[in-house]
Amino acid sequence: MAEPVQTPQAFPTRIFSGIQPSGSLTLGNYLGALKRFAQKQNEGIETLYCLVDLHAITVWQDPAVLRQQTREAAAAFIASGVDPKRSILYNQSQVQAHSQLAWVLNCVARVGWMYRMTQFKDKAGSNAENSSLGLLAYPALMAADILAFKATHVPVGEDQRQHIELTRDIAAKFNHDYGVNFFPITEPLIEGVATKVMSLRDGTKKMSKSDPSDQSRINMTDTADAIAKKIRKAKTDPEPLPETVEGLDGRPDAKNLVNIYAALADMTQAQVLAQYAGAQFGTFKPALADLAVAKLGPITAEMNRLMAEPDEIDAILGRGAERADAIATPILNDVYDIVGMIRSRQV
Ligand code: AMP
Ligand code: TRP
């Protein structure tokens, strides 16, 4: 194995993140991801956001539904403030470097690293032997997503921390094995009060688009009525809201609703409690429902408007893919050179 060469290389700040278009996006995706994606873009940082359709097919997807959900997710990004002119917004399969770099990284990563991933264990369930090979290799494709752009920062929810750590391990092993300082060691950005929005039916479980109970989540496409009803029925305990944040310890359902309020209102938990200490849920839930409807209503309306013009969405994704391709292809070519591939084809 070659000795690592110390060739310090500056990696300019570049943000990349992805979301699977494999179900309706939830309030968890909005608060934990989309809202923060728009904020990063507005801070003037270079931002790339990707609908990871190749990740989605690691479990079975109906093709027509997948196409529809990819457009819906694109609409959700734009309605949440991701501006396709300022950010690069596209779907993964239109940029070939994702798959091509994933293969190289498959050969850098170790099988044992993949088996340790909790998302794999959760998704594979009791019959891991019968899951797709893609589901096992999923994190190497995710590393390729990030490293194809030499992204330095990745905003995600708490559930993705382990995958980003693996991306760092893969980048470091590539750099070490080939004696280069080629890939950055990417930092996760897991910030804010909404890094883990929990289920409305069980405050110890993540709110997820794949939860069988629709009552457990607020979908970004829910009507105002549905949102209000779900919040009214959300699981709580009989105590009033406490005065301090510590008073929420051991009260996961109450804590979740306070967190959701804080994230929607751009407040801290303490500020929410300063306003609602001593309040019963009979008072707090309607206030939360009103706030959720006020914040999500305009986003849903904008999503519906965009969804009425699928050709326009496809055109936006195509333009984004071209811009992404222009960044990723030279990086992929460098990778091929580093690993010893002949590139003599005239293009
Ligand atoms: P996924 O829906 O699994 O593709 O996740 C897309 C992004 O949303 C990732 O950054 C996740 O970490 C984030 N996310 C998903 N569910 C939640 C949740 N319940 N709370 C906070 N962030 C979430
Ligand atoms: N695995 C992520 C999730 O399930 C989605 C994803 C794929 C991603 N590639 C990425 C997130 C690259 C950040 C960066 O949420």
Report CA torsion sign: 210, 211, 214, 217: negative
Q: Where are the alpha helices (DSSP H) in the chain?
A: 27-29, 35-42, 53-56, 63-79, 97-108, 111-115, 118-124, 133-147, 161-178, 224-232, 252-265, 269-276, 281-307, 310-339
Specify the pLDDT at position 9: 57
Taking the centre of ligand 2 as the mean of its atom positions, its distance from the CA of residue 163, in whole angstroms, is 8
pLDDT higher than threshold 60 for residue 228: yes
- What CATH number is given for 8-195+310-339 in this structure? 3.40.50.620
- How much is the average pLDDT of 107-132? 95
Do the beta carbons of residue 231 and residue 200 sit within 8 Å? yes
pLDDT higher than threshold 90 for residue 191: no
Catalytic residue of the set 35, 209, 230, 295: 209
Rounded to whole angstroms, the Cα distance separating 59 from 53 reads 11
pLDDT higher than threshold 60 for residue 215: yes
Q: What is the mean pLDDT of the chain?
A: 95
DSSP 234: -
Pocket test for ligand 1, best of 25, 27, 29, 197 (most atoms within 8 A of CB): 29
Pair type for strands 46-51 and 14-19: parallel
| pLDDT cut 70: percent of the chain above it | 97
For the Cβ of 36 lying below 6 angstroms from any atom of ligand 1, the answer is: no
Predicted TM-score (pTM) above 0.75: yes
Do the beta carbons of residue 170 and residue 108 sit within 8 Å? yes
pLDDT higher than threshold 60 for residue 285: yes
For the Cβ of 260 lying below 6 angstroms from any atom of ligand 1, the answer is: no
Confidence band, pLDDT 50/70/90 cuts, at residue 309? very high
pLDDT higher than threshold 70 for residue 5: no
How is the chain split into domains, by residue range? 8-195+310-339, 214-305
For the Cβ of 33 lying below 6 angstroms from any atom of ligand 1, the answer is: yes
For the Cβ of 20 lying below 6 angstroms from any atom of ligand 1, the answer is: yes
Catalytic residue of the set 35, 40, 150, 206: 206
Specify the pLDDT at position 24: 86
pLDDT tens figures, 168-187: 999 999 999 999 999 999 99
First CA to last CA across the chain, in angstroms? 33
Q: Which residues contact 339 (CB under 8 A, 6 or more apart)?
A: 104, 178
Angle at 284 between CA 250 and CA 226, to 5 degrees: 105
For the Cβ of 29 lying below 6 angstroms from any atom of ligand 1, the answer is: yes
Q: Which ligand is nearest to the CA of 210?
A: 1
Do the beta carbons of residue 261 and residue 267 sit within 8 Å? yes
pLDDT higher than threshold 80 for residue 1: no
| The two three-digit tokens of residue 198, written as one number | 């929990």
List, as own/partner pairs, every contact residues 248-252 make where C-beta atoms lie below 8 angstroms and the sequence separation is at least 24, other chains included. Answer: 248/273, 251/203, 252/198, 252/203, 252/204
Do the beta carbons of residue 51 and residue 5 sit within 8 Å? no
Active site residue 121: no
- How much is the average pLDDT of 126-146? 96
Rounded to whole angstroms, the Cα distance separating 124 from 136 reads 9
Ligand 1, residue 55: give the atom nearest the CA.
4
DSSP 11: -
pLDDT higher than threshold 90 for residue 87: yes
Torsion of CA 120, 124, 130, 132, to 10 degrees: -50
| The two three-digit tokens of residue 108, written as one number | 């850098």
Q: Which range has the worst mean pLDDT, 2-16, 81-95, 182-196?
A: 2-16
Rounded to whole angstroms, the Cα distance separating 5 from 175 reads 9
Q: Which residues contact 304 (CB under 8 A, 6 or more apart)?
A: 221
Taking the centre of ligand 2 as the mean of its atom positions, its distance from the CA of residue 139, in whole angstroms, is 8
For domain 214-305, say whether CATH 1.10.240.10 is its number: yes
| The two three-digit tokens of residue 248, written as one number | 């929420």
pLDDT tens figures, 333-343: 999 999 999 99
pLDDT tens figures, 243-262: 999 999 999 999 999 999 99
Between 157 and 213, where is the model more confident?
213
Confidence band, pLDDT 50/70/90 cuts, at residue 195? confident
Active site residue 209: yes
Provide the edge-to-edge strand list for the sheet that holds 14-19: 88-91, 46-51, 14-19, 153-155, 187-189
Specify the pLDDT at position 7: 43
Alpha carbon nearest to ligand 1 atom 5, residue: 19
Q: Tell me phi and psi for residue 268, to 5 degrees.
A: -90, 165
Ligand 2, residue 141: give the atom nearest the CA.
9
DSSP string, 163-222: HHHHHHHHHHHHHHHHT---S--PEEE--STTSSPBPSS-TTSB--TT-S-GGG--BTT-
Pocket test for ligand 1, best of 15, 16, 19 (most atoms within 8 A of CB): 19
Ligand 2, CB within 6 Å, residue ranges: 16-20, 52, 55, 142, 145-146, 154, 156, 160, 163
- How much is the average pLDDT of 112-118? 96
Burial of 184 (0-12, 13-18, 19+ CB in 10 A): buried
